[in-house]
């Protein structure tokens, strides 16, 4: 990673070649170092989106230009929240089966990390998972967020009953977050139908800050 500092309170972060979630973490470090303006250079659209979303969630303003020579340049101007150093997230482990654990001050979060519910037949597990997702809207309270990673990202890219259910949940205000690295691995990035592409830092923060985490495994 190439860091170049100019005047006080200003920095440039070259994140080309870095994998998720390093561009977000590098931006976070630069802001928490007290820089009011951070120029972030990334070489893929997923990183551009992740850094932009991270900064905006922290009350920063972001302008983006590019791509030029395969790179995007983001100018991140720190807001009051950005300049306040935040504690690093603690270690966590996702809930298994249908259990839930008490956590932070956030809301209810559903985590889907597979294309199968339970163990045994993959076909049966896939069918059960469709039903599971289609039933979420009938359970109160609704989740604040649904996080999908590994093969679970198939749910936001394939035309199934689960996709329609996720679209309905999004319309009801539930935030759908799909791991960008996982979408790339399964070559589903261009097929994304619902939700937002996210990164590991955002996934960890979401789970760590949730009041309750539920997973169908």
What is the percentage of the chain residues whose pLDDT exceeds 90? 53
What does DSSP assign to residue 58?
T
For 16, residues 6+ apart whose C-beta sits below 8 A from its C-beta are 41, 42, 43, 71
Pick from 129, 89, 83, 81: which is nearest to 106 by CA? Answer: 89
Q: Which residue in this structure is represented by tokens 């979303």?
A: 53
For 42, residues 6+ apart whose C-beta sits below 8 A from its C-beta are 15, 16, 18, 23, 48, 51, 71, 72, 74
Cβ pair 159, 122 in contact under 8 A: no
Helix (H) or strand (E) holding 207: helix 200-209
Per DSSP, helices labelled H in 72-121 are 80-83
What is the DSSP code string of 187-200? Answer: T-GGG--SSEEE-H
How much is the pLDDT for 40?
A: 94
Q: Is the pLDDT of residue 75 over 90?
A: yes
Residue-wise pLDDT tens digits, 5-33: 444 588 999 999 888 788 888 998 999 88
Cβ pair 3, 40 in contact under 8 A: no
Give the mean pLDDT of 146-152: 96
Looking at per-residue confidence, does 8 or 204 come out higher? 204
Indicate where the chain has its CATH 3.40.1260.10 domain(s). 108-214
pTM over the 0.85 mark: no
Q: Which CATH architecture has domain 108-214?
A: 3-Layer(aba) Sandwich (3.40)
Indicate where the chain has its CATH 3.30.110.40 domain(s). 2-83
- Please give the CATH number for the structural domain made up of 2-83: 3.30.110.40
How much is the pLDDT for 97?
A: 31
Q: How confident is the model at residue 44 (pLDDT cuts 50, 70, 90)?
A: confident
Cis peptide bond prior to 39, omega within 30° of 0: no
Cβ pair 91, 196 in contact under 8 A: no
How many degrees, rounded to 5, is the angle at CA 51 between CA 50 and CA 56?
A: 100
Pick from 77, 61, 141, 54: which is nearest to 106 by CA? Answer: 141
32: how many CB neighbours lie within 10 A of its CB?
A: 15
Cβ pair 113, 76 in contact under 8 A: no
């Amino acid at each position: 990673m190439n860091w170049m500092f100019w005047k006080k309170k200003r920095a440039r972060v070259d994140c080309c070649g870095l994998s998720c979630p390093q561009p977000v973490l590098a931006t976070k470090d630069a802001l928490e170092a007290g820089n009011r303006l951070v120029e972030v250079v990334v070489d893929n659209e997923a990183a551009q989106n992740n850094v932009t979303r991270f900064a905006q969630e922290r009350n920063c303003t972001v302008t983006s230009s590019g791509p030029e020579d395969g790179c995007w340049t983001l100018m991140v101007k720190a807001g009051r929240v950005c300049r306040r150093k935040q504690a690093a997230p603690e270690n966590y482990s996702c809930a298994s089966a249908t259990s839930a654990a008490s956590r932070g001050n956030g809301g209810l979060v559903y985590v889907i990390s597979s294309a199968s519910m339970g163990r045994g037949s993959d076909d049966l597990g896939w069918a059960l998972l469709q039903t599971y997702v289609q039933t979420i809207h009938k359970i109160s309270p609704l989740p604040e967020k649904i996080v999908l990673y590994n093969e679970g990202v198939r749910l936001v890219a394939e035309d199934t009953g689960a996709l329609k259910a996720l679209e309905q949940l999004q319309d009801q205000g539930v935030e759908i977050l799909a791991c960008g690295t996982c979408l790339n691995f399964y070559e589903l990035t261009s097929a994304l139908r619902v939700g937002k592409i996210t990164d590991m830092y955002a996934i960890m923060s979401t789970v760590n800050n949730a009041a309750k985490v539920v997973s169908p495994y």
